[in-house]
């Protein structure tokens, strides 16, 4: 069942997305060498709660933290910990906010200090692929058009597109139908109709697309231990436009 949102509901998701964007911005100030990833998690939770929101991820199916923080070969769902960030790391931070009954969801990947050129390009191109997907997420297209736009862009670089994890609908629930894969064929899948809200989130690996789950039952990493990148926005489909409901603006103001 796909739940289509009213304009009023979309505005509430956008309000949630503003709190989320500002929480990401607060975290961005501290993504640097020497910070423990558990400290980043604490900063995010305090900001979200201080602004009237609730962390969407905390206690979701038992996940124990506000942020998913995935380092280097970790793709998604990494646990904040006592790990100290060091130069050369890629830190992917995924967060969600529940506010006035609605969820928003976004992610951003950081290069810390001296990161090698291939990894920097991976981050740049993964971010670009997110916007290729958003460009295809227009009224009257299908989910496959979004998936294909991401895949067509990424395939030219011979990166691995993670297949086991996908974007998703969201609203009153953090994960709703439809699924939004980062690979696929044009013209396939559910139609993009007025009021559809989806999270588009490419997860791209420098090497193989194959992933494994760590023993904590959550963390997903690349099989070959090469770096991975993850960028995500929540978007709403209308007949006259597609609106990005989350923001990376506050992150990019504060990147060290």
CB 93 within 8 A of CB 68: yes
pLDDT digits (tens, 9 = 90+) for 15-56: 999 999 999 999 999 999 999 999 999 999 999 999 999 999
pLDDT digits (tens, 9 = 90+) for 122-159: 999 999 999 999 999 999 999 999 999 999 999 999 99
Percent of the chain with pLDDT over 70: 100
> Is residue 91 in a domain?
yes
Question: Tell me, what CATH number does 143's domain have?
Answer: 3.90.230.10
> Is residue 215 in a domain?
yes
pLDDT bracket for residue 256 (50, 70, 90): low
> Is residue 194 in a domain?
yes
DSSP 232: B
Report d(CA 108, CA 248) in Å as an integer. 8
166 closest CA partner among 133, 131, 202, 197: 202
> Is residue 1 in a domain?
no
Structurally, the chain folds into a number of domains equal to 1
Q: Residue 115 sits in which domain range? A: 7-254
Backbone angles phi, psi at 40, to 5 degrees: -60, -40
Give me the helices (H) in the chain, please. 7-28, 37-50, 117-136, 143-155, 249-254
First to last CA, the chain: 43
Q: What is the model's pLDDT at position 46?
A: 98
- Report the greatest alpha carbon distance in the chain: 48
pLDDT bracket for residue 255 (50, 70, 90): confident
46 closest CA partner among 22, 68, 70, 64: 22
> Is residue 138 in a domain?
yes
């Amino acid at each position: 069942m796909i739940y289509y949102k009213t304009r009023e509901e979309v505005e509430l998701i956008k309000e949630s997305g503003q709190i989320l964007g500002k929480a990401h911005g607060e975290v961005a100030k501290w993504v640097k060498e020497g910070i423990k990833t558990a400290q980043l998690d604490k900063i995010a939770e305090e900001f979200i709660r201080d602004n009237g929101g609730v962390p969407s991820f905390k206690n979701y199916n038992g996940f124990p933290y506000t942020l998913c923080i995935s380092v280097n070969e970790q793709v998604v769902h990494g646990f904040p910990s006592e790990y100290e960030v060091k130069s050369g790391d890629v830190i992917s931070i995924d967060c969600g906010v529940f506010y006035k009954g609605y969820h928003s969801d976004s992610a951003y990947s950081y290069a810390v200090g001296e990161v090698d050129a291939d990894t920097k390009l991976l981050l740049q191109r993964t971010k670009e692929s997110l916007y290729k997907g958003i460009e295809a997420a227009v009224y009257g297209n299908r989910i496959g058009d979004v998936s294909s736009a991401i895949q067509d862009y990424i395939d030219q670089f011979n990166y691995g597109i993670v297949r086991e994890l996908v974007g998703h609908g969201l609203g009153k629930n953090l994960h709703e139908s439809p699924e939004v894969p980062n690979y696929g064929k044009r013209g396939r899948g559910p139609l993009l109709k007025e009021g559809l809200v989806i999270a588009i989130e490419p997860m791209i690996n420098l090497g193989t697309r194959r992933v494994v789950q760590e023993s904590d039952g959550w963390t997903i990493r690349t099989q070959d231990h090469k770096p991975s990148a993850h960028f995500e926005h929540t978007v709403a489909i209308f007949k006259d436009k597609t609106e990005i409901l989350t923001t990376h603006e506050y992150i990019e103001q504060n990147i060290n």
